[in-house]
Chains A and B, each alone.
Chain A
Amino acid sequence: MSFQKRTLLKVILLGDSGYVHMKFSQQYKATIGADFVTKELQIDDRNVTLQIWDTAGQERFQSLGVAFYRGADCCVLVYDVNVSKSFDNLDNWHEEFLKQVIIMLIWFPIFISCQANPTDPRTFPFILLGNKIDLDGGNSRAVSEKKAKDWCVSKENMPYFETSAKEDINVDAAFHCISKNALENEREQDIYFQGIPDVVTQTEQKSGCAC
């Protein structure tokens, strides 16, 4: 059990899930509802745990909305460089996120800490990833790097990375940037990993269920 102080950052991935697969594990299983993976990083002298959330492909899970977006420190928009439609839909995802932030402000004002200062949603940290650049050696590309960069400039200079989750190209650089941006907007929240696990162990010992 680590006694080290860590910073937890909640990152959410948004994009057309039919085209974008930004999964890091269990790729052969469908996501149900919302799921997350964690990734540990060191940013300068700080230990950071990224909690990266992704929603399921099926549209009806979009209604998990508010719960999914709550407490986000950074929003990662992902599109597939080989599919124009996934790029065209970025505006929808961007707006959808900001809309949810405003709903949160109305319904859960007390739960919102200083992050994602919704009085000016434009300052919320976004980042754009153009994924699947490895596909067909880049020959099937439908969206140019320039087009994507221009879009980012129009959105408060959103940082942009071209990645391949499959070939592990630029993924680390992207997550480094995500963490840095989120840390700048950080809420005061530190997590200690001791304490709770002791309690869980006790419960485990009590249950003798073998099914």
Chain B
Amino acid sequence: MRWLKSECADSYYQVKPECKDVPATRFKIKPGRTLSVRKWLAAFSPNGQLDIRKTLKRIHRGGIHPSIRGEVWEFLLGCYDPMSTFDKRKQIREHRRAQYVRWKKECSEMFPVDGRGKCITSPVITEDRNAKSTEIVTGNGPLDMKVTKWLLTLHQIGLDVTRTDRNLVFYEKQENLSKLWDILSVYAWIDIDVGYCQGMSDLCSPMIILLEHEADAFWCFERLMRRLRENFRCTETSIGVVTQLGHLATVTQVIHPKLHQHFETLGGGHYLFAVRMLMVLFRREFSF
């Protein structure tokens, strides 16, 4: 397929007509510069090894064509080693999909995360570990700490799922909302330290749009979180992103003292205005 002139990428991620406050994309598909399907396929050796250097160079110059963004991201996020073969990746993919199914089953045994789009929005247990909802399978004894912690975060996921990327036509479909809910709740279970924190739904949503298979989307999200999870981690007195805010302040102070001074005066202190930008990688500022 060839594109004769620059094509705007907006149409790939259709926005609801009533949403007027969505930033327009500046990304354009440019023939000869953007990584196209043809160039992408040509970047693999016969047994499936990817010429990552050439690919990155092209991506840097012209971006990725939206139709292949998902599979390219899998490499960029580090899900697969570019030097691996087709066979090896197929094997890993199957293994990971099976693992995801197992975790999802574990979750649904504790609380029915059943993929039919049931989103809970109020706590299912109380802080003192008494079940509020009849759907919780408690067995006979009291719930253990890990299970309690997980159950306590569930309603927050439910509250946020219905508020994530609501401007996209994609999320009018109930099954897509369900995927978001399922992936976030499974992730909260396997990374109990971080669990679920507001902002994570913004990061997870693009994966679901770009990767058709729910398990593949999960693993992309999991990879992304390896890099970002520290920001969401929390102690009694601090939340991870504060460290990064400190770095931002230090860098700005050195490269642009006047701007730093301006932020200190206007920003209410500690670069708090940048919390969201850093936590969700500018997802609220830029189009998708």
Asked whether any CB of chain B lies closer than 8 Å to the CB of A67, the reply is yes
Q: Which of A53-61, A78-86, A142-150 contacts B (4 or more CB under 8 A)?
A: A53-61
Asked whether any CB of chain B lies closer than 8 Å to the CB of A3, the reply is no
CB distance from A4 to the nearest CB of B (A): 16
Contact at A67–B269, with CB atoms within 8 Å? yes
Known: A32-B202, A56-B198, A57-B198. A64 touches B272 (CB 8 A): yes
Contact at B197–A53, with CB atoms within 8 Å? no
Known: A63-B236, A64-B242, A111-B269. A30 touches B159 (CB 8 A): yes
Interface of chain B residues 245 through 288 with chain A (CB within 8 A)? 256, 258-259, 262, 265-266, 268-270, 272-273, 275-276, 279-280, 284
Contact at A58–B197, with CB atoms within 8 Å? yes
Contact at A33–B241, with CB atoms within 8 Å? yes
Contacts of B272 in A (CB 8 A): 33-34, 53, 64, 67-68
B residues with a Cβ closer than 8 A to A are 21, 26-28, 63, 156, 159-160, 163-164, 166, 197-199, 201-202, 234-239, 241-242, 256, 258-259, 262, 265-266, 268-270, 272-273, 275-276, 279-280, 284
A residues with a Cβ closer than 8 A to B are 8, 10, 26, 28-36, 51, 53, 56-58, 60-61, 63-64, 66-68, 70-71, 111, 189, 191, 196, 199-200, 210-211
In order of increasing CB-CB distance, the 8 nearest A-B pairs are A33-B275, A67-B270, A70-B269, A60-B234, A32-B276, A32-B199, A58-B198, A196-B262
Q: List 24 A–B pairs whose Cβ atoms lie within 8 Å, in order of A's numbering.
A: A30-B164, A30-B199, A32-B202, A33-B199, A34-B272, A36-B273, A53-B268, A58-B156, A63-B234, A63-B238, A63-B239, A64-B275, A67-B242, A67-B270, A70-B270, A71-B268, A71-B269, A111-B269, A191-B266, A196-B262, A199-B258, A199-B259, A210-B63, A211-B26
